[in-house]
Structure 1
């Protein structure tokens, strides 16, 4: 376990924590699946438990025998960069949550068939572009019985640092994958799909037909405009959450929690 004291922001190996964008991290070491950054000891431990491979650790020196001790012990012979709080904040652009970051390798992308084969309830995230909402949806999915998540390419990356942190590491627990052809692929696996949208054809989310489906995929749309029309038209059902006080809709993260609970596999 080489410990490297950071005195300069140009130290080789630190680029993954500072100068690389999220997009660049995703393609970094592309032949090995790219990287992501996990923040805070609790989240990093969830990732390690889920089999993600650490590449390096960045933390304040005091955490070597504190919050980062178990992480370092479990991570093997990887570089551990240490430095003062202010210097690390100037490198990363933010104050570290509990002072520990870990660069980790992404896992290879898997197919919908692999992710959803044994699932009964699936969430589809279509065009959600806020990292906080992505993380919150994954946390609700894990807590409320969603077996897998499918994410369209025009959505935020679930392994974005903020998404990971907001999810409290549940993004490492719920199987997920990317797909823009989810409707066809899910139908082929025996799923019916329900688009969450306000239309003349929308049924209430507590409709018994939805609850009776053995395999159901719940499609959530973008924060502002909701689902695109093509996604609504292709879905087997369209459903709405009944509202009061003339409120037209909930934030997508809040709506997902309501939908996941109401449509959970019974």
Structure 2
């Protein structure tokens, strides 16, 4: 699975559609039979998942127009059942399965997935291309993208254009702890009032995301040596660098890391079309 591919102008090609609806973002992706991304849409859910799906479908539709035959549709995310009913999905799978399938199709040897989204985070352990353990955190907001965004805004820093570069300039990152949002915010304010440079503040935030995730989501679970970092926060190179520093291991940010859930759903729809039934791990047991 590589970067986005141009859809041929002649002869319709077979394609599969994946939709990942979360509380913060909604992602829509189409892939071809070789699992190349043909078109993608990343947009905010804004509390209206069906409207977000409609917008995403239109954006992707405008890109691929009438050049593809959609042979299967898969949905995932917290809104997977609602969305699945709306679009008539062929398969509906949980986020763990979708994220794992996307990663395995990029690198069959991946053994660990760190996934941090806008309002939740996930850990997946794989062995021989199968999920052997996982964990999800939907309680503490302190280790998610929305927390990082909120704190960056309070520091008057553009999280997309400034945060990463600024944090990597830090010589002495502050300690914001790994506790709940209120305490971490309080620590940050105290450091700011003490005159700590912005680069040390944002670097401290990056480390706090990492420590919060590793201690509250991963805990004492196994962390392998082929680690994929997926989800919206993976674009933040300061968080990637903090993960590498703390774990002492190389972190891979795969292509289309922010829509891997939707890619996984599309791949699962393809496998279903080809006669392969994939059984998701029992999420409800966690």
Task: Give the alignment's TM-score, normalised by structure 1.
Answer: 0.29
Q: Which has the higher contact order (CA 8 A, sep 6+)?
A: 2
Task: Give the alignment's TM-score, normalised by structure 2.
Answer: 0.27
Structure number having the greater helix percentage: 2
Higher-Rg structure is: 1
